[in-house]
Amino acid sequence: MIREWNGPMRTLLLSALILATTPVLARDTYPPVEVLLQTGKSVIGEPLEYPEGKAQITMAIVTMQPGQKTGWHRHEAPLAAYMLEGEITVDYGDAGTKTYKTGDALVEAFRSPHAGVNSGEDIARILAVFAGAEGVSNTVAEE
């Protein structure tokens, strides 16, 4: 005897099949994600701390000419950076110096004064993303 699947049973079976395949479809269509950096510390080992207040993300591209210097400064908020092109060398005082090149990702020192210079022969471009707060300066010059 052949039983026909009509009515509520057919609807239930089709619904179950659709729901069972939905996560697979979503996983197969979402583009690959390459994690560039995941950390809880800055490049010199400072634990990350977000400033108090209403959260504010600031995204900027910093462009430095060959030989150009930043001067000594510090950040009031964590700064995630990605080297779009070029090369910079940063002096962290007692923590030493580090050179960053195209494709490098980092969380910059934020409470410790530091100074950078474009140490390459070409323009350096850095994507800078500050995880700050309203009314908090992202960068403060040191005297």
Measured CA to CA in angstroms, residue 97 lies from 37, 41, 100, 119 at distances of 20, 17, 10, 12
pLDDT given at position 130: 98
Indicate left, alpha or beta for 45 from its phi (over 0: left) and psi (-120 to 50: alpha).
left
30 C-beta neighbours (distance < 10 Å), count: 8
pLDDT given at position 21: 62
pLDDT tens-digit series, residues 83-120: 999 999 999 999 999 999 999 999 999 999 999 999 99
Residues 4 and 138: their CA atoms lie apart, in Å, by 69
pLDDT given at position 18: 66
Return phi, psi of residue 135, to 5°: 85, 0
Low-confidence ranges of the chain (pLDDT < 70): 1-27
Residues 38 and 48: their CA atoms lie apart, in Å, by 12
Comparing C-alpha atoms, which of 101, 105, 111, 113 is closest to residue 129?
105
The domains found in the chain, sorted by start residue, are 55-141 (2.60.120.10)
